[in-house]
A and B are shown apart, each in its own frame.
Chain A
Amino acid sequence: MQFPASAKPPVGIGFDSAMDSIGDVLALAMLHGFDGKDQARIAAISVSSGDLRAAQFCDAVSHFYASATTGPAAMFMRFTPIGLADGKPAAESPIFAKPAGTTTIKSVIDTADPATLIRNELMAQYDQNAAVVLGGPATDLANLLNLYGVKDWIARKVRLLCIAEDGLQTDAAAARKLFTEWPTPIVTVGREIGDTLPFPGESIDKDFAYSTAHPIADAYRAFKPMPYDAPSSAMAAMLYAVHPNDGYFKLSGTGNPRALVLDPDQKERIIRTYIEMASAKPVARKPRRPPDDKDKDKDKNKEEKK
């Protein structure tokens, strides 16, 4: 999403994941929750698995959260494309067993190359006002680092890369490149964090019940026989990326990268935030000014004053 110059928005998040685990799905829901509550803005969503259905799912989720916006605001709403890596998925994920709703993605040409998408969207963020959350293998981010001149953009725009370590082993070479070349502080989230802070499955029937066709709840139910609690390392990475200074987690040691450390006193608060954000209702967006209206006059006056 691109922003006018008028006000500094909350942190812009780029979320890249394989979207093949329910933790990734819940982290995506959380991101939309943060976005709806103006605690973060979605900069880019990309899928590293090469599974078209995963991209369609992400797109449908975006449309679901945009569904509360109607009228002129809807007319000028721009849906950022979903990034999708080349290649075929390793296995069919049950997450996508049920169609998630409206999607404009019919084939791979309706998606973007993740590296190009992330680069383009980072360029639209305020300096040091973006964070990247990695929920799967590092393939897409390694490709991003290969783009000409991109490291300067990353260093300028991104304050933090937050990595859920679960998916890294799928592409060890990409992970090595990422840890060697990524130009900002990195925070890793170990599997044990996700296991210690499980997302409670009972929340699905309770907190997501406001919609009879909730794509997140449907995916959760399809992923494994209910009831079950879901590991949450991608959610923890998302939470820390949005609120690094709000005491949800501590960090290990010094240097770069550093690892997320759980403060047992925060466990309940963290899980409460997981539920609140992942189950947040779609929020109606205010109408965006059409091009050439108010901004134009304002900018003209500014120039004249100069």
Chain B
Amino acid sequence: MITKKSLPRRTFLRGMGTAVALPFLDAMVPALSAATRSKPPVRMAFVYVPNGIIMDGWNPDYEGPLGELPRILKPLEPYRQDITLFGNLTHNTGRALLDGAGDHGRCCASYLTGVQPRKTVIDIKAGVSFDQIVANQVGKQTRFPSLELGMEDARQAGDCDSGYSCAYTNNLAWRSETQPLPPVLDPRALFERLFGNGIALTPAARARENLYRRSILDFVSDDTRKLETDLGPTDRRKLDEYLSSIREIERQIEKAEKDNAQIDPHMEKPYGVPADFAEHFKLMADMMTVAFQSDLTRVITFLVTHEGTSRPYREIDIPDGHHPLTHHRNQPDLIEKVAQINCYHVRQFAAWIAKMRTIREGDGSLLDNCMIVYGAGLSDGNRHLHEDLPTLIAGRGGSHFKSGRRIVYRKETPMCNLYLAMMDRMGVHVEHFGDSTGRLDTLDLT
């Protein structure tokens, strides 16, 4: 029998101290009701990498349909039909504009705010970032208006770049012009935020709890069984895959915690942070996937490492600091190392994109309903250039983007013009943002 009854989008599996949101299921679409047929929501995320990119390895030498990708983007080649590459987007407010040195602080603070931050280590001032403008409007429909994630150093005070506060280099999202939103670094803290009751435990208390720890899925097993009886085979499989992915995240976090305890029981790092960069990235990416899949949020910013970071990459045999390497003065061996770091970052990102493609949602994939920007606030890290910023969008923004191509705009085209176009896709209509001069054109399918 066909009915017009459907499962509410905001259904949770509940248990003791646990609330697991559900992915978009066919059962959430009312049958025989085309007029009210609900479409999956559009989500957006920003993945920010610091210190610029070796642009020779990023920019293809052509416009239009994407063919063979340059070296740094190579890991994305299997998914080139899902990405749009942008050329010549510029953040003028990241430039000195008479404020002297401090391009790292400026480029990060202006990246999503579109304004020139005040040069100070005390009374910080930037602007409301555009992700927060979107979160303020669409965030009412989700459990979290936005999520801010990172993988390194969340210091908020002190001088991190030539007189610019660490608040500028260590945050992407700004709720107000004086209030940045520090990223969550610890996967355990993020997991508990997504699925728990929001109470953060000390490492000692968590260790005690872990003795008796069960999966959160154990707490919601009654609800899960009840729900499964109402679902068709496709939805049951979808639910099973989704819950398995949550269990996999739990396993990864537990492993990281065990490894950390073995390495150094007194380590200062957040407790559940994997020592390995790729593992950490994968964990955060998996949780971003689940957060989007279950519509816990539609807006995520992810500061991979902070602007100006001198993190070494021993995982790929590069013991030198990232930032010092980027001031390579055109020495080929140093350029090569930076390119390897750039490529390593893109490899992690590509793995996330690959996963997002496999998750079915509505008539397409989860990725189809997303706009995931991967980019940096500097192009040439050696010269600190703020033009032709490396920028790509993975996903189609809910079938809006004609992806699989490279679009090169005219020089000096404000990055904020892209943000206006993205806000339109998110259903948030704003006339001006930052230093925008209009909306990017030619983004539509037609």
Residues of A within 8 A of B (CB): 2-6, 75-76, 78, 81, 108-113, 115-117, 119-120, 123-126, 147-149, 290-292, 295-296, 298-300, 302-303
Contact = CB atoms under 8 A, between A and B. Distances in A.
A6 B435 CA distance: 26
B2 interface: no
B166 to A, nearest CB: 12
Given A109-B410, A148-B432, A299 B330 contact: no
Interface string B364-395: 00000000000000000011110000000000
Interface stretch (B98-106, B174-182, B239-247, B298-306): B98-106
Contacts of A302: 163
B408 interface: yes
Contacts of B358: none
A66 to B, nearest CB: 16
A120 B100 contact: no
B437 A113 contact: yes
Contact of B327 (A3, A5, A292): A292
Nearest to B161: A296
9 contacts: A2-B97, A4-B96, A5-B100, A75-B329, A78-B385, A116-B412, A119-B437, A290-B327, A300-B159
A272 to B, nearest CB: 35
B436 interface: yes
B96 A2 contact: yes
A303 B120 CA distance: 8
A296 B98 contact: no
Given A2-B95, A116-B437, A148-B432, A109 B101 contact: no
A292 B97 CA distance: 16
B171 interface: no
Contacts of A120: 90, 92, 412, 435
A290 B330 CA distance: 12
B150 interface: no
A116 B440 CA distance: 14
Contacts of A292: 101, 162, 327, 384
Contact of B99 (A5, A147, A291, A303): A5
B185 to A, nearest CB: 26
B62 interface: no
Contacts of A298: 101
B412 A295 contact: no
Contacts of A5: 96, 98-100
A79 to B, nearest CB: 10
A299 B88 contact: no
Contact of B413 (A2, A116, A147, A299): A116
Contact of B409 (A2, A109, A123, A300): A109
Contacts of B436: 148
B187 interface: no
Contacts, number: 100
B73 to A, nearest CB: 20
Given A75-B330, A123-B92, A290-B327, A295 B410 contact: no
A6 B100 CA distance: 8
Contacts of A124: 95-98
Given A2-B96, A109-B88, A299-B163, A81 B103 contact: no
Contacts of A295: 100-101, 162
A291 B414 contact: no
Nearest to A123: B97
Given A112-B411, A120-B92, A291 B98 contact: no
A24 to B, nearest CB: 22
A75 B435 CA distance: 29
B42 interface: no
B330 A303 contact: no
Contacts of A4: 96, 100-101
A225 B217 CA distance: 88
Contacts of A76: 383
B169 to A, nearest CB: 13
Contacts of B100: 4-6, 295, 299
A110 B330 CA distance: 24
Contacts of B431: 148
Contacts of B112: none
Given A5-B100, A124-B96, A291-B384, A108 B163 contact: no
A116 B414 contact: yes
B121 interface: yes
Interface string B71-113: 0000000000000000110101001111111110000000000
Contacts of A119: 435, 437
A111 B387 CA distance: 13
Interface string B386-420: 00000000000000000000001111111000000
B411 A147 contact: no
Given A123-B92, A124-B98, A112 B159 contact: no
Contacts of A3: 96, 98
Nearest to A4: B100
In this complex, the member of B63, B97, B103, B410 whose beta carbon has the largest number of chain A beta carbons within 10 angstroms is B410
A188 B64 CA distance: 45
Contacts of A113: 410, 412-413, 437
A119 B102 CA distance: 22
B102 A299 contact: yes
A291 B410 contact: no
A123 B163 CA distance: 21
Contacts of B96: 2-5, 124
Contacts of B88: 109
Nearest to B102: A299
A44 to B, nearest CB: 10
Nearest to B385: A78
B431 to A, nearest CB: 8
A303 B412 contact: no
Contact of B410 (A78, A112, A123, A149): A112
A276 B383 CA distance: 34
A108 B88 CA distance: 12
